[in-house]
């Protein structure tokens, strides 16, 4: 499934909440709870996302030329945010991740329920995921 298709699904799910701010935040936190657990040994400084007010840990693994992310956070809303990014990017080629334009945030009106600090942290998460994609893309070209 393409990143655009996944973003459309996310937008569709949030549209069912009809812009209800409280329900949107609760749904976001619920999505975070469904995130597979991250091994405790991965929750180290080297895996923390810089620029997030909350603690966010993010790792990436290449399997069959596709990238898979694992993440966790110490806050429910931030964990929900990173779960959305994982949903969009997981299982894609590094090149697809690098060239994907993210638009679901505008479609779901995310700016209404996250403040400036979380917006900065969200941008840092996107940046870190794209850095992983670039690193794996570069590594595979070197090995080829």
Domains by residue range for the chain, with CATH: 3-143 (3.90.1010.10)
What's the pLDDT tens digit per position in 93-123? 999 999 999 999 999 988 887 877 788 999 9
The yes-or-no answer on residue 52 being catalytic is yes
* pTM, 2 dp: 0.93
The answer to whether residues 28 and 80 touch, using CB atoms and an 8 Å cutoff, is: yes
Chain Cα centroid distance, residue 141: 25
Over residues 71-88, the pLDDT tens digits come to 999 999 999 999 999 999
Phi first, then psi, for residue 52 (nearest 5°) are: -100, 135
DSSP for 93-115, please give it.
-HHHHHHPPP-HHHHHTGGGTS-
- Indicate whether 143 pLDDT > 70: no
Quote the pLDDT of residue 75: 94
Catalytic residue among 28, 49, 52, 133: 52
CA-CA-CA-CA dihedral for 91, 93, 96, 102, to nearest 10: 30
């Amino acid at each position: 499934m393409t990143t655009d298709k996944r973003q459309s699904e996310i937008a569709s799910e949030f549209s069912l909440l009809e812009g209800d701010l409280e329900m949107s935040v609760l749904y976001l936190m619920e999505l975070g709870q469904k995130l597979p657990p991250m091994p405790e040994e991965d929750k180290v400084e080297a895996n923390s996302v810089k620029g997030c007010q909350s603690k966010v840990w993010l790792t990436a693994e290449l399997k069959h030329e596709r990238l898979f992310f694992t993440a966790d956070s110490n806050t429910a809303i931030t964990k929900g945010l990173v779960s959305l990014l994982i949903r969009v990017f997981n299982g894609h080629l590094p090149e697809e991740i690098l060239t994907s334009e993210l638009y679901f945030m505008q479609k779901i009106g995310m700016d209404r329920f996250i403040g400036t600090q979380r917006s900065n942290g969200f941008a840092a998460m996107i940046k870190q995921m794209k850095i992983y994609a670039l690193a794996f893309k570069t590594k595979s070209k070197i090995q080829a």
